[in-house]
Structure 1
Amino acid sequence: MAKQGQADRFHQGTMTDGWRWFGAHPAKKRGRDGWTFRVWAPHAEAVSVVGDFNDWEEGAAPLARKGEIWEGFLPDLPVYTSYKYAVRGADGQVRQKADPYGFHTETRPATASKLYDISGFKWTDGAFREKKAKHPVYTSPLNIYEVHLGSWKKRGNGDFIDYKDLAKDLAAYVKDMGYTAIELLPVTEHPLDDSWGYQCTGYFAPTSRFGTPKDFMWFVNHMHKNGILVLLDWVPSHFCKDAQGLYEFDGTYCYEYSDPNKREHAAWGTRVFDYGRPEVKSFLFSSARFWLEEYHIDGLRVDAVASMLYLDYDRQGGAWTPNQYGGHENLEAIEFLRELNTMAFQTDPSVLMIAEESTAWPLVTRPPDVGGLGFNLKWNMGWMNDMCHYLKLDPYFRQYNHKDITFSMMYAFSENFVLPISHDEVVHMKGSIVGKMPGDYDNQLRCLRGFYAYLLAHPGKKLLFMGAEIGQWHEWDSDGQLDWYLLDRPENQKLRKFFREINAFYKKTAALWEVDFDWAGFEWLVPDDNHNNVVVFLRRDKKGRDLMCAVNFSPNTYTNYRMGVPPYRRYVPVFNTDDPAYGGDGFGDSEAVMVEAVPSHGKECSAAIRIPAFGAVFLRGEGTFPRPRKKQQAKELEKT
């Protein structure tokens, strides 16, 4: 009855732990140790297990049909045995398929699954997970370092570094640099390096490029022991058409839509999951829960959500099928995402479920019971596009594009946003982050410091792709490694020092993260100074303490920049991107700036500060402004 119950859940689309039942698992039968195998192939004529142990001979180790599921037991097979399923379709063709629920795989270019027992790893991250549960992301600092494991760093001979050595180096680096989390481009097994993991074949297998599944568990555990959250990019939006993968698994459309107007993403050369098929939902729910539960992953960034939501996404010439109401919304995908997020929060109430959603779809980060998709964070792609456009402009023309740095506040609190400067911004001839800035390299470094200060000060959580913190010259090369040699140069050493110290400042300054998703944490002081390319605003913590953030996107220095301010006694400088220790000239206020009884910008009092070219300064409001007598106020006005 238990097995029948499992099958029922699978066919109903409610199975969320499918990896425990499907795939290959150690077992004992009639006193012999071996492995049970179980696979879904609804239209197959026959399924057998093939591998090194039987010379890949179809039919030598047949599985028995139990409805749409095939299962069997094979004795005496050692761990790491390579295997596939030989699936004979109704057309008579035999397709050798990797195990959809396999835990381990051969290393590309080989494509078989490998027998592996994931049980027994000794986790030591309990204290970290308890602490995480007590600090909700909404009122905590979140500064994500996005990493592609294959190209962050390589061995001297160009080989990949394994999970354990990567964990040691990366944890030490990320901790030293002050990031609070890493986000990994997909580690799910994938055949082609150039896909960066976004076209995967192993939804339950960490790529073997860097080691075994337990090696990856060690990686996550080590990150947690160093206080670092681990987020994974996860791809339920499409899958590759490699022969060994999910593609036409039993000779029919199993995992993909049968409707040709839904089935393919032609531009990506991939197939689209059938979100209306219960068995496919069970597969994807199980994959998401698997990483959260078995690998202690802290969150999933769900890739290409927009492509799931719209039936006409990137479909040319009207080749798409409307929903039952005639609209272009994919109702099945919407329901899938809501159920996915509900399941994820039941698995781990502190999980981060992050949507890469590039449109204005409403309520992405609101609960399903109020019509939302149920994510708790969303990448702010509009802000990213505006900023990349602005940063590449000649400074003279920025005055005509001032909305690029202010428009985001029109919708900043409509969702719980992450501000992403990701891998997508440094590939395909887009150049590096520093390379987007105007002027020579020294000037570009100055611009990068000012921009990063603006990113940390803007409402929302933060994400930056690896390499920007060392002033990476070249755009990202997924086949190589970061330009670590730049750290032989004093100016790049100073840049890394800047990133280290401003990240530390961010973490200790509650005004920059405690109220990220509400107007209570933000106030414009100067939003409209397009002629000077300056914005000034306040960030505020829960106790109402203010941090003034002034950012200058022009090449001019401002020695007496006046703005209306709340009635503090003074503003004390607490961070300056132009500090000589970071490669700057030291321009900025070194002493407290006194507030004066001079009306400005609609406020009764004001302050005048110094702002460096292409730089940013942060000042903390202190004390209470003494209410001036009328005669004193008149004299102050005469001075101006």
Structure 2
Amino acid sequence: MGNQSGNTSQAGVIPHSLFTDFDINLFKSGKHFRLYEKLGAHVIDHDGQVGTYFAVWAPNAHKVSVIGGFNSWNAEEHVLNVRWDSSGIWEGFIPGVEPGNIYKYKIFSNENGQVLEKGDPFATLWEVPPKTASVVWDINYEWQDKSWMEKRAEHNALDKPFSVYEVHMGSWKRKFDQGNESLSYVELADELVDHVKKTGFTHVEFLPVMEHPFFGSWGYQITGYFAPSSRFGTPQEFMLLVDKFHKAGIGVILDWVPSHFPDDIFGLINFDGTSLYEHADPKKGFHPDWESYIFNYGRNEVRSFLISNAIFWLDKYHVDGLRVDAVASMLYLDYSRNEGEWIPNQHGGRENLEAISLLKELNEEIYQSFPSAQTIAEESTAWPMVSKPTFVGGLGFGMKWMMGWMHDTLEYFSKDPIYRQFHQNDITFSLNYAFTENFMLPLSHDEVVHGKGALIERMPGDEWQRFANLRLLYTYMFTHPGTKLLFMGAEIGQTSEWKHDHSVEWHLLDHDPHKGVLQLMTDLNHLYRSEPALYELGFGSSGFEWIDLSDHTNSVLVYIRKGHNPDEYLIVAANFTPTPHQGYRFGVHANKNWKEIFNSDDKKYWGSGLRNKGVIKTKKEACHGREYAISIDLPPLAAVVLKAK
């Protein structure tokens, strides 16, 4: 395996290592979770010379060179030294190589004489696509978010409000006067932060920012796992964006993709002429849905790579959480596969034991090292205890997307209100399992692409009814147990489905119905954040109580939301038809006076303005198994929220 001494200088390369024997042992055992401090390109001062230390894992190579503009891409000038310890790591110091220099690794494989040119799996910056070289870069940054980081546990706690604005960075807003260009990190630090702040979301979530060659993958086909995309600026400029969010009191969540990677030849695939990062057997290593490659979760060095990558974003970029993409595809060996196309585990089952082990270890490491962070699973099956701690047998995530709620709710809302009386169970079914996990309610990007249309397009009726339905959907979402996630554009009632190469249709805010939706979303976020009954017990059955879920004739639901203080609860009454109900009566527990604090039919939202003004008095009359009752005016296609005076 080439030069075994690790001490003999190759052409132009000075022997040097950042690895200790302990590092190597951790790496080999799959327990090194700070690999980004060792592998990759690191600008250092070595014996008075400034240059770059390079280290890359390529165990099946007999020679590895660093090539770049600094050596005219000559593979003989800077040949790395292979370590003597069978780790498969090639390393060395090259004087004079500095930030901004582009480079690749030229790998001479032992496998069939292959010669490969690869980007650095640990590069912290890449050239702007479609160029494919890595860039030497120093990611030091003077953070100014100390106050946020010290108080982050309060913002990220499971009994605090958690309202997420999901963003595709490249299409949130475009510069029409400059060739439809995307905003840069610096521009987003002004405009996006301001919008999220004004609209009242507690967190922003970015579709993957990690470098990806194909813009149309939305970031889910990653080649540069340790680099924010250079399309929008430098690493420090992305850090500035995170910093600005933190100073505005807003958390930052990144989508993270450990489930697969693309087949771009300069990337991870066939890295040293063998299946190094991917599983060699296509029945376990090839993803039929996305025509991509699945990581070898049983290989220790790959486990170190993946967990190190998750830790990297929490450590170096101060992000507050990771939403882990496509968890279901990792958990099941037969995911999207027919009989005979998958290999059972050692017990004959369909569970991917290696991936399960990885996810548990990932969450354990994150919550041990960054206890105030959160991990969120996009998991679409009934896999048990996804958001339960590993010590009780769970996967260890903080939250899980409630995909069933999203599907059932949108299906229900798409029906003409005249038929909703026959589908009452569809809108209430989520409460049968709402407290089995720490659920987040998503209305995500996946619901407004691939011909599904915009949310407003899926609402039935005339224009007024469609907007009323949308406002009712959002109000139901924000008063339903669980945290919240809304994709960009939905907050203004965008009328066309999302396209990654077009901007959100901000011009719609020239029209009153869309202004009304934005005002409603702003007020819903304020209501959610200001009323502990809507978030303190959002994951527990003690935070929710039905008053009436059986009035299917009128398609009305009435329920209670409760927080830690049993005396400060809210009542929500929702009318899913366009027929208003004057004097609608339902039972309450206590002899209190009530006040309407929110109404999605308010005229400022472009509603009809049927309000309950003044004091709503309780009467001593039995109703719904309760001793008292109140009567309210229930507006059409709307929900009202009541609070005791």
Q: What is the correspondence of 1:446-457 to structure 2 with a 5 Å cutoff?
A: 446-457=468-479
Match of 2:607 among 576, 579, 584: 584
Q: CA deviation at 1:444?
A: 1.3
* Percent of residue pairs identical: 47
Instruction: Give the superposition deviation at 1:283.
Output: 0.2
Select which of 145, 154, 158 maps to 1:138. 158
DSSP 3-state at the match of 1:595: coil
Deviation at 1:135, TM superposition (A): 4.9
RMSD value over aligned CA atoms?
1.2
Distance 1:372 1:492 in 2: 42
- Residue 266 of structure 1 deviates from its aligned partner by 1.4
Deviation at 1:46, TM superposition (A): 1.4
Which residue of structure 1 lines up, in the alignment, with residue 129 of structure 2?
108
**8 Å CA contact retained: 1:146, 1:466:** yes
Query: Take 1:585 and 1:137, find their aligned partners in 2: how far apart are those partners?
Result: 38
Q: SS of the counterpart of 1:326? A: coil
Pairing 1:20–2:37 present: yes
TM-score, length basis structure 2: 0.95
**Equivalent in 51, 59, 75 of residue 76 of structure 2:** 59
Match of 2:361 in 1: 339
Output the CA distance in 2 between the equivalents of 1:123 and 1:294: 10
| Structure 2: tracts of 5 or more residues without a match | 1-16
Give the equivalent residue in structure 2 for 1:475: 497
Report the secondary structure of 1:205's partner residue: strand
Q: Counterpart of 1:251 in structure 2: which amino acid?
A: G
1:308-342 CA-to-partner distances (Å, cap 9, x unmatched) read: 00010111233111110000001111111110001
Q: Residue 81 of structure 1: which of 95, 101, 121 is its match?
A: 101
Matches within 5 A, 1:225-240: 225-240=247-262
Aligned equivalents of 2:74, 2:551: Cα separation in 1: 74
State the distance in 2 between where 1:424 and 1:474 align. Answer: 14
The equivalent of 1:559 in structure 2 is 582
1:37 aligns to 2:37 (yes or no): no
Q: Is residue 602 of structure 1 aligned with residue 625 of structure 2?
A: yes
Is 1:277 the counterpart of 2:293? The answer is no
CA contact (8 A) 1:293 1:347 kept: no
- Aligned residue for 1:316, secondary structure, equals coil
Q: SS where residue 191 of structure 2 aligns? A: helix
Counterpart-to-counterpart distance in 1, 2:240 and 2:256: 20
> For 1:79, what is the secondary structure of its paired residue?
coil
Partner-residue secondary structure (3-state), 1:317: coil
In structure 2, the CA distance between the partners of 1:386 and 1:226, relative to structure 1 (3 Å rule), is same
TM-score by structure 1 length? 0.95
The reply on whether 1:547 has 2:570 as its aligned counterpart is: yes
- Are the equivalent residues in 2 in contact too, given 1:276–1:332 (CA < 8 A)? yes
Worse-matched range after superposition: 496-505 or 93-102: 496-505
Question: Post-superposition shift, 1:566?
Answer: 1.2
In 2: Cα distance, 1:299 partner to 1:411 partner: 25
CA contact (8 A) 1:47 1:59 kept: no
Distance 2:214 2:154 in 1: 40
Query: Which amino acid in 2 is paired with 1:24?
Result: A
Distance change in 2, residues 1:314/1:340 (3 Å): same
Q: Find the residue that maps to 2:61 and give its secondary structure.
A: coil
Q: Give runs of aligned pairs for residues 471-550 of structure 1, distance below 5 A.
A: 471-544=493-566, 545-550=568-573
Distance in 2 of aligned mates of 1:290 and 1:54? 30
Output one character per residue of 1:473-519: Cα deviation in whole Å (capped at 9) or x when no partner: 10001101000110111222222122212211211111111111111
Measured after TM superposition, the shift of residue 218 of structure 1 is 0.6
Q: Does 1:174 align with 2:191?
A: no
Equivalent position SS for 1:585: coil
Q: Does 1:162 find its partner at 2:179?
A: no
Aligned residue number for residue 615 of structure 1: 638
Alignment size in residue pairs: 621
SS state at 1:389 partner: helix
Q: Which runs of 5+ in 1 are unaligned?
A: 623-640
Matches within 5 A, 1:156-305: 156=176, 157=178, 158-305=180-327
Matched, 1:593 2:616: yes
Query: CA shift at 1:533, angstroms?
Result: 1.4
Larger CA deviation: 437-446 vs 54-63: 54-63
Three-state SS of the structure 2 residue aligned to 1:593 is coil
Q: Distance in 2 between matches of 1:192 and 1:573?
A: 50
What displacement does 1:30 show?
Answer: 4.6
Helix, strand or coil at the partner of 2:181:
coil
1:76-132 deviation line (CA, Å, top 9, x unaligned): 12311111111122211211111000000001000110000112x111111111122
Tell me the equivalent position of 2:8: none
Q: Which moved more, 1:296-305 or 1:493-502?
A: 493-502
- Amino acid corresponding to residue 72 of structure 1 in structure 2: G
Does structure 1 residue 575 correspond to structure 2 residue 598?
Answer: yes
Is the partner of 2:310 in helix, strand or coil? Answer: helix
Q: For 1:93, which of 95, 114, 130 is the aligned residue?
A: 114
User: How far 1:4 moved relative to its partner?
Assistant: 2.2
